Structure 1
């Protein structure tokens, strides 16, 4: 595998060799950490989701600004500094712009600030501008620009009064690339045909006296765009039209009821690769989150409250219309307004039937109905909690959809289910042996759930460890409490591995005989016996789950990589396949359900880094490489569009690269800073932020994150404590959960919330190996 020679990854690392204590010594540790962080930075980074927009008030008056080429970045056009490079951008700052000039981008209209057709790097900072009634006056336009940033500015549309008549646009961004809007107040924003547009930490209207005057935010045809951490008042609509790879995350979104007879808090019309996650949404006059004619989309971890009915007395929390390949998961939907308020709707617009939809792990309360399928096919609904809905569910195509996930995964929790749980098995005929699933189906007027859950489903964090006696033990965090360690039987000489499908967790271990064994966790219990595909390994196996199939990759006793798969429905194995190539370390396997693909990353025998993909049901024939080298196991995760890879370089520095699914190519290696003597660990949270945890050179535990827009944080932070191993981490709801082995071999857990660490918890056991962690 190492026939292609790779140069070493090199760079100057930032030392993380801070002598911290064990996680039990929190007071001393955090005091030491505070002193160390002061040396790194005088301020902590701000979380965008809670950021307060800060606009500096000290400004001077300036006439209209019109820039139509790089040559127009002059002092006469408000430039106060910079040379237009990436490290020294032009700066336009501290102006209150008055007066109008004719727009070049929109002939026949007038504008206060306009920048067209530039590629120089620039920043507009701390300016104020308001549109004018005279001459169709817009406040600001960016057209055909690249590499621009607008921050801490107030850009306001001119609106006629009383509210509801008309507003000119505050800001237009069109046909532009690499534009960021950060920490601004913008009254009406329109964006069209842009690439790599970022809108973060801003307040978007109309609002106040301007409410009800048009769409507050209209983004059309955007490619690779991020809208994150904003306060958005959707007067009319917050509308996304077309485009691809658009993330809408961690925003507060509300519809202003002055916006007309029908105002949707968030309307996405068309497009592919849409992610709506971690938002708080309310006030839609009719719909709150509406995805219409989209494909390959996810709607997850949102809090939706229905507070305003349409003129027809109806409302919808989440609507998926005429779309395909959409996942709706882990949302909370509450109806507080409407006699006919639908919690989650899958239905039709433009005579296109929706298909291939998954709805799972949502809480739906007080709706009518809770979940409604209208002319929909191939929809799977499972692991939802339906509480107190006057009508729990409707389905006008019975038999075309599934209201459970089969056995033993189960169906949904229905608050009005009257059945009992005395038996188990696919036919519920193994008695007495309760399994957490009702013995009889839950039926409603047009459908049935064959395996109703007896208790509401809650998020579970599970860990498995190799004890000091080589035996396997497990523990789980449920409803905020660790339940205690239990034995799984069996033993292993290596660290265990867990992978999750969202409905099942599967534990895979290397046996004392080097055999490969697995157990399945479903409905709060582990399978009683071990399953084995045969074969042997001298290292930790790797696993991933795609579409009800478990995939395994192992390093064989000859150091060659081998793959196998098992149907979770039939427990049938495909048989081992030789993938070629050799590795001295455990392989890393990453599954991407939205792309239905696997990505395998390994370290070669000469420390090179290699990659192979499983797409369209088959492994690629050859290995590709980003070049570079590592003396340890790589770390890799998927964000749905690419795999992110971090390795420990040959200099112990930390290096980042990514492999894009669409282009099939690697980016370049990027030095993150820091240093480690162990393998790094990665996880992606619900908003799409990438989290990296490492063990410092003095065993301290250090964390840094990368935003969905691809920006690494300015400093490392630490939860305190120390570990001799690679930390274990995983997304847990909207948080990131971490488990480590302390320097005294005790097991500790911590959780990184929206902006801070919760603090270490001693789980009361010891281990000599890294831990395995997963969540459901």
Structure 2
């Protein structure tokens, strides 16, 4: 092998000769990187060790520059002396380059080069379909696959651009595949696998490397399989285990792949001591699998796009979530992953957390957590009564996921930038309140197949889609600021929807309804949504009233601040009482919590705010001045001071610009309100049209 330095815009030194070359790089005004070319004269493994470091980190990037193309094949970030970069398989006759960089004030790093030659030789793709096909022609070089010394496939470089590198199906013989390198040569993409084991028992893959293939190692309908001390870089998927039992994946690297390591529809799969960096979707995904064990796996930020990774649980049954063994020795950027299952009264507060995964538990409180650079910050599955509050989640694929759960509240959180801010699926009773959410690449909030949902007083901005709802019944969307998103609000195949008091501004699309019924959209402000302010393909089943539209061109001849002609929008829908100017008074109705058992007292705060620039006087009709509504979407009970609610008696009220008035009262849950129901609590401040100024919240009785 020969190596020569190439000129860079930064400073560094290269001392000695291969294979004991020392690289020193330091940060200067021109930058902090140093590059060298690599032209191996034999096949082997190349890496560097960090000898010393001043600063926060040193980064090692290795590129394949053969035939004029540049492909990143490895990125390692080193923090402490003694750490080694990823061991990269290099092939004789190909051209490579390495680039070193440092981070931190006055950063300087010294790195030592290493190279271990091996007798890797080119081989055609290998296909073995029966025990008697383990032959020298199929890459077998000897024994020691164990149990009476069966078969060893070793020392091969295989180009998988036209076929799977090694494919073994329907065998029971013991074998090991080791010291094998599979990539796709100069091809841009392949549909083929590095190693595919299907219907196999008693096989191992060890000390091998897979680059740029569709899947590094795929294991299908197999048992007693191991993947040990191997590397998968820039594959579509690193490791994929499907329909298999008793599989071990250990001490293996997944770097810069689309998906990391997956166990789907499998059981008793062990992931231990693996390092996952920069995978675009999940780091380790357990999909519809049971009794898996995860220990000592590390997830770090990196790769081409700087993705973070972690653990994601998925499935339709509780056993897909609560049968696993996931220890705190699994880490995200050095922070422990906390896995809680089958527990009651769980409190996780103000502690270092890489992820929080909760399954089949009751009364869960997660508060004051900072979770970043992972797949899912907080995941709740089959959980009853959970609160996630005052947390910061950033650079995660998803902030909060709740699925197949009940009575879930997310409040006062900063979520973003993320992939998806909050994802609710099959949740009965959910509230997302007072959060700031930004998801530049995906949705701010997704609500799918839920019922009894409140989204209130959130700021959702800078998302591809601000709020997406489908197949949901009874959802209240109130007092949110939804701004500068691609699509503001999209609601499909849902009914009993209230969209009230929201500011929907500067989005591509405003509020769009698709195949919805019993939707009531009122008291909102629509300003400069460029694709269209609103859309409703079922307008005769829904109501649009008392909204402000920035492009409304009608007049108000009688001065009641309501336009004399409708505001029309797609498809044949209209607001028949459009407001001439945006609402200046906002009303918020806030309860001390959302879910109460029968007989418990509901404590309510009603806030009346003047958000405008001029003084406002409200006139209250005597017949409505002390009323509160408690209603479902089907019927209403009106309460006043004669049947248990003490409300302020108001006739005229003057509010200064920026002033917020607060009124507190209580509502004893009474016998004529049945349990096991959800109710809308609506404070009425009548002035012209009382609905325009009503504040909404949700109360659940259980």
Q: Which has the higher strand share?
A: 2
TM range (shorter): 0.3 to 0.5
Higher gyration radius (CA): 2
